[in-house]
Structure 1
Amino acid sequence: MSDPSPLSPAGDRHFDGLADKFAGSLYGGPRGALRLALLDRLLPEMLALDGQPVLDVGGGLGQLSAWFAHRGHDVTLLEPARDMLERARFELEGLSVRYVEAPLQELPTRADGPWPLIACHAVLEWMSDPRAALEMLAGRLACGGQLSLMVFNRDALRFSNVVKGNLQKALDDRLEGTGKRQRLTPISPLSHEQVVGWSRECGLSLQAVAGVRVFHDYLRQPPTSEVDWQRLVALEQRYCRSEPHWRLGRYLLYTFVAGDGHVPIKEPAR
């Protein structure tokens, strides 16, 4: 008897049973630590935060929900994988977080809004129809509401494959994963042009963009000392919002606003 498919009926990749893997090898390692350190720097720069309620879509183990809750926001964490949600509930005990076990497609019935702030990080690349998912998110925003969107960067994935010597794969543009193996290659990696084009069609206005891990994933060897680690973090922070470096971030982080509204965005620190 074969193992059940990790794909949902809609063709999306969910992560049931992988809470330990995410907590250990991903967020417990340098890649996850660097991602969280950069978000800690970037989110206050890229969002107008005043304690408003937050919807965290596909919030997984709850790191992002915890970040907002610790800063005075009431958070609703939406996540389809039960073990992820239970781990988040345990880790975030005592914080102002409500937990909803549901996929993104159930937003209209489970967490419709309108929301002044929605965060959706590292989710769209695991959807079979990321364009429809973005439209769903846009429809849940209040007028002038903000969307913090982070996606897996297709261009960075191509560059990484070339660096590793996978030349024919890059030439054929065979970059998508199947979603059926333990290796976590996204099924729908997205380009900047796709995200910007779709967001415009959905009535969203681009306010800011940054690259997350613009250097780390291309290193021949990871830092071997705390001094070198801090130097790497400093480089990532310095160039994550600068041309041309942000374009090759492993993830692209965006702030969008619903309608023609504008929120004050801090200039990148130099």
Structure 2
Amino acid sequence: MPKPPDTAIPSPHFASPPSVSPLSAAGDRHFDGMAEKFAESLYGGARGELRLALLDRLLPEMLALHGQPLLDVGGGLGQLASWFAGRGHAVTLVEPSGEMLSRARASLEGSEIAFLQAPLQSLPDAAPGPWALIACHAVLEWLADPRAALATLAGQLAPGGQLSLMVFNRDALRFSNVVKGNLEKALADRLAGKGQRRRLTPISPLTHAQVVEWSAELGLEVRAVAGVRIFHDYLRRPPESDADRETLLELEWCYCRFDPHWRLGRYLLYTLVRPDDSAPSAEEHGT
């Protein structure tokens, strides 16, 4: 599949503007002015390292990877794009924030990754499918209409194509609020963020039941699911030594796909597949 051409991206400029961009016209949360916070608070800390370490183990087990082209939707600072590109995939990174995209392009300089500034809703025109492999990690929870966004992603998948979807878990957010003592907030289900300040509480956290229901409605099969950071975010204090961090990683790895533990992961990771109706059935094979 030919990659869409690179769009013109301004030269990298890393100083964050003094104020956060408001919600988009569609009501989505974009992250111009927040790249530094993402780089330091999310990916520069232990929780970001743990998330990436778990994905490094989970993705090869949950996906059938054979170097197929990848569409990385909402690719942010480019960590996921770098992971796939390093394993031989031709990657197209799509991101609505110009600031985030500039940082990704600078950090991945010299790679053959294609960069495209566009919102998810414009994918049918900006990066038309069908795609055999799409990744959309930690994006739907920042959109006003995550169900419609999943429908857009489903429409871009080729028959037999795989969607690696990771969403912020609403049930885990409730549990976290209870642990912190926010009992009335949890009871009233006032969990979603407003998207107007620098806080990073998603505006549309999702439940496993929603993902399963929407996937079925859109003709997608849930082939695999895992919880990402199922213990870390509930610790009274984070691990302090390298040995403790390694032990926590192994603990997360042991239970991230086992019920009931995966259900309280801060993120839920799915492999969704569009069935290939053209594939010969067992009866057609004569078995």
Answer whether TM exceeds 0.5 for this pair: yes
Partner in structure 2 of residue 210 of structure 1 = 226
The whole-number CA distance in structure 2 between the counterparts of 1:106 and 1:163 is 39
Q: TM-score, normalised by structure 2?
A: 0.89
- Structure 1 stretches of 4+ with a deviation exceeding 3 A read 2-5
For 1:265, the equivalent position in structure 2 comes to: none
Q: Name 1:268's counterpart in structure 2.
A: none
In the alignment, what sits opposite 2:182?
166
Q: Match for 1:37 among 46, 53, 57? A: 53
- Structure 1 position 80, deviation (Å): 0.5
Change (3 A) 1:185 1:140: same
Letter in 2 for 1:109: D
Q: For the Cα contact (< 8 Å) 2:173–2:266, is it kept in 1? A: yes
| AA of the residue aligned to 1:22 | F
CA distance in 2, matches of 1:151, 1:32: 15
2:193 is matched with: 177
Return the match for 1:195 from 196, 207, 211.
211
Q: Which ranges in structure 1 are unaligned for 5 or more consecutive residues?
A: 263-270
* Contact 1:113-1:141 within 8 A present in 2 as well: yes
2:283 maps to which residue?
Answer: none
- SS of the residue aligned with 2:132? strand
Q: Which amino acid aligns with 2:75?
A: G
Correspondences of 1:143-154 after superposition (within 5 Å): 143-154=159-170
SS at 1:139's partner residue? helix
Q: Quick one: which amino acid aligns to residue 217 of structure 1?
A: D
Alignment length (residue pairs): 261
CA distance in 1, matches of 2:19, 2:241: 42
Partner residue in 1 for 2:123: 107
User: Contact (CA 8 Å) 2:195, 2:203: kept in 1 or not?
Assistant: yes
SS of the residue aligned with 1:65? helix
CA RMSD of aligned residues (A): 1.3
- Of residues 250, 258, 268, the one that matches 1:252 is 268
Moved more, 89-98 or 59-68: 89-98
Cα contact 1:73–1:96 (8 A) shared by 2: no
In the aligned structure 1, how far is the partner of 2:165 from the partner of 2:36?
25
- The partner residue of 1:49 within 31, 41, 65 is 65
Kindly report which structure 2 residues correspond to 1:1-270, keeping only aligned pairs within 5 A, or say none: 5-259=21-275
Unaligned runs of at least 5 residues, structure 2? 1-17, 280-287
Kindly indicate whether the alpha-carbon contact (under 8 Å) linking 1:6 and 1:16 is maintained by their aligned counterparts in 2. Answer: no
The normalised TM-score by structure 1 is: 0.94
Q: Distance in 1 between matches of 2:107 and 2:132?
A: 25
Between the aligned residues of both structures, percent identity stands at 72
Asked whether the 8 Å contact 1:205–1:260 carries over to 2, the reply is no
Contact map agreement 1:152 1:186 (CA 8 A) in 2 = yes
* SS of corresponding position for 1:207: strand
Cα contact 2:165–2:271 (8 A) shared by 1: yes
Q: Which secondary structure state, in structure 2, belongs to the residue aligned with residue 37 of structure 1?
A: helix
Distance 1:86 1:237, change over 3 A: same
Is the 1:70–1:95 Cα contact (8 Å) retained in structure 2?
Answer: no
Does structure 2 retain, via aligned residues, the 8 Å contact 1:114–1:141?
yes
How far, CA to CA, are the matches of 2:166 and 2:56 in structure 1? 14
Residue 226 of structure 1 and its aligned partner are, at CA, apart by 1.0
* 1:55 positional shift: 0.1
Secondary structure in 2 matching 1:99: strand
* CA distance in 2: counterparts of 1:39 and 1:239, whole angstroms: 14
